[in-house]
Amino acid sequence: MGDDQFKTKLKRILDMTVFSQLLEMDYEENRKTSSKALYGFIERADKIVEDMEHALIQESCENVTRAGTTISDPAEAREDPCLTVIKDEINTLKDNVVSARTAIIYFYNTV
């Protein structure tokens, strides 16, 4: 990934004002303070996505159970359209977290 690609990707997935402020917190050359904070944000984002996926699976299972008790033909049971949208948004969020992690790793390995 070239520098221009990296900067474009970074601007797309990170709030550059916040990122710059985190970098200003660094007193040491190795950027230990900002890297610790950013990796902490990524870990929390991973946990949030994991919790959201778990809640979505649980809701899907509950819908299937409810549908099974009210629909005699399994072919009639359909996934709730709202759950489909939520699933897509969670997948987008997961992709953004992966992209942010990749960009941050790249940044700290090239600085």
For residue 42, the model assigns a pLDDT of: 94
Instruction: State residue 66's pLDDT score.
Output: 62
pTM: 0.73
Grade residue 8 by pLDDT with cuts at 50, 70 and 90: confident
Q: Are 33 and 26 in contact (CB under 8 A)?
A: yes
Report the candidate in 39, 16, 14, 43 with the shortest Cα–Cα distance to residue 109: 39
